[in-house]
Amino acid sequence: MSVDYRSLLDTTIGAEPPTSLDVDELMAASRRRLNRRRWAVGSVAAAALGVTLAVAVAVAGPGRPVLGPTTPTPPATLATPKPTLAGSAPSEDPQAAKARLAAAMRTVVLDAVPGARLGGEFDVRHHDFDATLTADGTWYAPAYLFQGQQVIDARGRHGVITVSVMRRLLIDECPLATPESSGYTCEQSTGPNGELVAVERHTGAGNMRQNAVKVDRADGSAVWVVSRNYVDLTSTSPVTGADLPLTVAQLTAIALDSRLTLYP
C-alpha cells in the first residue's frame, strides 16, 4: 500500500503552488529504508519471516497518486494501534513558527555556507495531518512539519536546498545494501549531543544528484536538509548536470543547528 501524501495534504491545507521538492519527494528519499515497513498485526507472511514490524511510511511515486479510502472498514483481525508522532505537540502558533523558521533557515544556511547567494526568502509551508486508517487495517502515518526551500548558488555551482523541521516518526537508520541501491549510499553517525545523523547520497538518471542529511534529536524532532542540482523550484525543473553547491559537511552543520527547532 502506498501513501498518497499529496491527497492528504490537499485535503488538509488545500492546493499549493508547484515546487521542485514537495512532501511526496521528501518522503520518497527514505523509501528505500521504509518500504514495506508499517503497522500490521497478524500478518502470516511477516510471522513466517520473523520480521519485526515498525511504524513507517511508503509513498506514491511522483505523478502516480493512489487515492485512499474515505470511509475504510478494516477487517477486525488487522486492526492495529494508531501510530503517533514522537515529541510533544508544539505550542507555538503555526503562522508564527513559519515566520520564525523562514528567518532561521536563511540565517543558518548563510552562516554554514559563506559566500552563498539565495534566490530569495524561504517559502515555508506547514503540513499537519493525523494518521488515517486504510481498508486493509494499516495506517497512513501522521505528519507534522515545516518545510522551506530556495535556489542557492555556492562554490560556483547552482542548485536547490530544502530544509524540513518536523516531529519524528520515520526510522532513519541506514538500510542494508541491496542490488537496488545502485547510485545510493548511506552513512550513519552520532552528533555532538547524541543525535542520530544519517547522510544519504543519491545519483539518478539524467545526471540528477542529491545529498540529504537527516538529524534525529532527543526531543522527538528531526531536521532534514536536502541539496539537489535542480535549476529552479518548479515541479518540472531540469537539472544542471553539475555537482551540488553544498558539501555534506555544510548540510550536516545546517541540520545540527539548534535554531532550526520546533520548540523555541
With H, G, I as helix, E, B as strand and everything else as coil, classify residue 136.
coil
Q: If you average pLDDT over residues 76-80, what whole number do you get?
A: 54
CA 86, CA 172: separation in Å to the nearest integer? 13
* Residue 71 clears pLDDT 60, i.e. is over it: no
Would the pTM count as exceeding 0.85? no
Q: What values do phi and psi take at 23, rounded to 5?
A: -65, -35
pLDDT digits over 190-241, tens only?
999 999 999 999 998 889 999 999 999 999 999 999 999 999 999 899 999 9
Domain segments of the chain as ranges: 5-256
pLDDT at 205: 85
pLDDT at 217: 96
b/e map of 203-228 (b: 16 or more CB within 10 Å)?
eeeeebbbbbbbbbbeebbbbbbbbb
More confident call, 54 vs 231 = 231
pLDDT digits over 153-201, tens only?
999 999 999 999 999 987 778 877 666 667 899 999 999 999 999 999 9
CA 263, CA 28: separation in Å to the nearest integer? 26
Enter the DSSP assignment of 77.
G
pLDDT at 235: 84
CA 241, CA 227: separation in Å to the nearest integer? 13
pLDDT at 79: 56
What is the rounded radius of gyration, in angstroms, for the C-alpha atoms of the chain?
18
pLDDT digits over 83-103, tens only?
899 999 999 999 999 999 999
Q: What values do phi and psi take at 163, rounded to 5?
A: -120, 125
Contact 6, 28 (CB under 8 A): no
